Chains A and B, each alone.
Chain A
Amino acid sequence: MSEWLYWQALNRALDAELAADDSVFTLGEDVGLYGGTYRVTEGLLAKYGEWRVRDTPISENSFTGLGVGAAMLGLRPVVEIMTVNFALLAMDAIVNMAAKIPFMSGGQFPMGLTLRMPGGVAKQLGAQHSQRLEAMFMGVPGLRMVVPSTPQDAYWQLRQAIRSDDPVIVLEHELLYFSKGEVDEGASAPPIHQALLRREGRDLTCIAYSRMVQLTLLAAEELAKEGIEMAVIDLRSLSPIDWKTCADSVNSTHRCLIVEEDCQFAGAGAELAATLQEQCFYLLDAPIGRVAGLPIPTPFNGDLEAASIPRVEDIVQAARKQLGQSKGVSR
């Protein structure tokens, strides 16, 4: 057990898979000599050579499509798309090719393709570099997507994604790369799409993913001081979703709050709320609540940017509202 940064966990996961399997290779903009924009591929070019750690031109659609074609021949490409925003240029390769080929071929071709990309609002990068877009990928049958929130999950889930014969998007978060956490390389990993109960709680269940898990855990601390015990579920995966873990908790707390950084309208939270009310309706004591980003392009101004996505205080307030109180509680 040792303490790693999130990017280091990804780096070591990639290193471990490159070492374990000759069919694994990675490619993307600046992944080689430069070592990756967020250092995830640091040191790998020197170790594995240019055929396995390939710097590409700025041609997202074609180098992602290259990954698709190589996966059809049995390789395990790990395509790094520098940010989720640039994945929009590769949507044809992701949606029309990777997600469709295994199915359209009647199951003949594997698609051991991993697509790594960071998303999320970082620090004043402007509207074009601050998107999340996970709901867009969730709407595509044939794609799977994981959203690790800790270095340990980043390590496990990247390794599992690379070993999968399905196309898997590993959606990282720009503000998580330098977050620290314990990583046990030897521990056996939970299944790749398993949600995890990060904190127990009897009063309500809060479901979050990626960076919002950290904020939700902080909010739970605050609420605990008031005597509110909020359970926190880290989804870890947005496609598929581990409904059982979510529903079991909601059925025991009878209240559910969903936190997402992406915009609320037609977002991941909408799908969660719709399905969980179908599954838990008769055991719910209150309508399912949502805390989400505002439906505007991310403003550049720092204060406005911060106000456009959920803050710890927003989650605390929403949790109180779930329990029918606007302020502290005494139970």
Chain B
Amino acid sequence: MDRNHLLAMLRDMLRARAFEEAAAQSYAQGDIAGFLHLYPGEEAVAVGVLHASEPGDYIVSTYREHVHALVRGIPARALMAELFGKKTGVSSGLGGSMHLFDRERRFLGGYAIVGETFPIALGAAYAVAYRRLPEAVICFFGDGAVNQGTFHESLNMAALWKLPIFFVCENNHYQIGTEIHRHSALTDVYKRACAYGIPAEQVDGMDVLAVHGAAQRALDRVRSGDGPQFLELTTYRYRGHSMADPGTYRPAAELKAYEAADPIAAAIHEFSFQYPSGQLPQDCLQRFTEHCCTAGQVDEAAIARLRQEVQAEMDDARQFAKESPAPSLEDAWAALTRNHRLEILMEGVGA
């Protein structure tokens, strides 16, 4: 991988972390309401996978999708404004944190009902195959989603018709507050794909380079017509399920980490929970930063500059969101009826 690509990935990981921390601050200040599901800890997954994707690919994501959207190229301003419920948001303030959509960037949405990303990806991939295009559909989901019926229904159809879907499981080991060994009979999620004859692999989701390499291989196979591919990425979220979740079900060391000034650094040093590998997961961001430094790609000063730029971008996004206007009820009605176009529903009633 060349230096520019490495730096682009590092930059996106820093942006991802900074965006989510900025969102958390805005939530704490009351600028963001409702549910807010944050991504810190899992950045290597989104960055590794999406840096292996093409602009022609489609992305389907969950309610923890800010970072997928950000790395996909949606401006931080439009994303933050959506979290604030503003008209300038990517979904015009009508979707919110869990429903980010961007047709132009082929971002097919964040879905807030667990297991919905499978059939949406299935349909998008059907349309791609129907038109015989060399595009792929990337379907994100968590370990909790694999116990929904749609997982099995959709994997079956994807394999049956050899649809171009790349299934990406972000296994953070918790479905909301229930740890994987208490919700799944089989804790190696990738093994479930074998039931449908879909090639599957389990990769360390805290290692962005490993994620990127595996995603690249899988996407190559999808694009060459080999049918669906499946990748399980083992990862961890440092925060609770959502901002409303104190995370009391998790080890005390984690809670202590939240209280620390720098939760990430604290988490790295104080984790004591049983990670599947038996070792503490090193923060993916710190790990990748160290890798880049050791390999001589960047130095501490360059990283400090990068952090400053990224922080400025997120400060600007918050400012933009705060100052943006709210959507009106007219905007809401317009969104609901936009698809009518010139269609006449009945005499005397406008289209």
Residues of A within 8 A of B (CB): 25, 51, 56-57, 59, 61-75, 77, 92-93, 96-97, 101-112, 141-142, 163-166, 190-195, 237, 240, 242, 244-245
- Asked if B336 and A102 sit within 8 Å, CB to CB, the answer is yes
Q: 14 more A-B contacts (CB under 8 A) besides A106-B89, A237-B346? A: A59-B154, A59-B157, A65-B119, A66-B123, A72-B108, A92-B113, A101-B109, A103-B94, A103-B332, A107-B334, A110-B339, A111-B339, A242-B349, A244-B349
Task: Tell me the smallest distance from the CB of B246 to a CB of chain A, in Å.
Answer: 28
Partner of B101, one of A51, A109, A191, A240: A109
Select from chain A the residue with minimum beta-carbon distance to B113: A96
A244 to B336, CA, bound (A): 22
- Asked if B120 and A107 sit within 8 Å, CB to CB, the answer is no
- Asked if A69 and B130 sit within 8 Å, CB to CB, the answer is no
A67 to B130, CA, bound (A): 13
- B92 interface residue per 8 A CB criterion: yes
- Asked if B150 and A62 sit within 8 Å, CB to CB, the answer is yes
- B118 interface residue per 8 A CB criterion: yes
- Asked if B157 and A104 sit within 8 Å, CB to CB, the answer is no
Partner of A62, one of B93, B119, B346: B119
By size class, the interface of chain B is 35 or more
Q: Which residues of B contact A69 (CB under 8 A)?
A: 60, 108, 119-127
A191 to B122, CA, bound (A): 33
- Asked if A102 and B150 sit within 8 Å, CB to CB, the answer is no
Select from chain A the residue with minimum beta-carbon distance to B125: A69
Query: CB-defined interface of B81-118 with A at 8 Å, one 1/0 digit per residue?
Result: 00000000111111100010111000011010100101
Tell me the B26-53 residues at the A interface (CB within 8 Å).
none
A194 to B128, CA, bound (A): 36
Q: Which residues of B contact A71 (CB under 8 A)?
A: 123
Given A103-B335, A164-B343: A65 and B123 interface contact (C-beta under 8 Å): yes
Task: Tell me the smallest distance from the CB of A327 to a CB of chain B, in Å.
Answer: 38
A290 to B147, CA, bound (A): 45
Task: Tell me the smallest distance from the CB of B143 to a CB of chain A, in Å.
Answer: 19
Given A62-B153, A111-B339, A166-B339: A191 and B119 interface contact (C-beta under 8 Å): no
- Asked if B124 and A65 sit within 8 Å, CB to CB, the answer is no
Q: Which residues of A contact B101 (CB under 8 A)?
A: 101, 104-106, 108-109
Sample (8) of A-B pairs whose CB atoms are under 8 Å apart:
A25-B130, A66-B154, A69-B121, A74-B127, A107-B92, A193-B346, A240-B346, A242-B347
Q: Which residues of B contact A104 (CB under 8 A)?
A: 91, 94-95, 99, 101, 109
Task: Tell me the smallest distance from the CB of A303 to a CB of chain B, in Å.
Answer: 38
Query: CB-defined interface of B308-351 with A at 8 Å, one 1/0 digit per residue?
Result: 00000000000000000000000010111011110111111100
Partner of B336, one of A57, A75, A92, A103: A103
Partner of A70, one of B103, B123, B346: B123
- Asked if A62 and B343 sit within 8 Å, CB to CB, the answer is no
Given A65-B116, A67-B123, A242-B346: A105 and B95 interface contact (C-beta under 8 Å): yes
- B186 interface residue per 8 A CB criterion: no
A65 to B128, CA, bound (A): 15
- Asked if A65 and B102 sit within 8 Å, CB to CB, the answer is no
Q: Which residues of B contact A63 (CB under 8 A)?
A: 119, 153, 157
Q: Which residues of A contact B95 (CB under 8 A)?
A: 104-106
Task: Tell me the smallest distance from the CB of A287 to a CB of chain B, in Å.
Answer: 27
Task: Tell me the smallest distance from the CB of A103 to a CB of chain B, in Å.
Answer: 5
Task: Tell me the smallest distance from the CB of A277 to a CB of chain B, in Å.
Answer: 21
Given A25-B130, A72-B108, A72-B123: A66 and B335 interface contact (C-beta under 8 Å): no
- Asked if A65 and B150 sit within 8 Å, CB to CB, the answer is yes
Partner of B119, one of A61, A75, A109, A237: A61
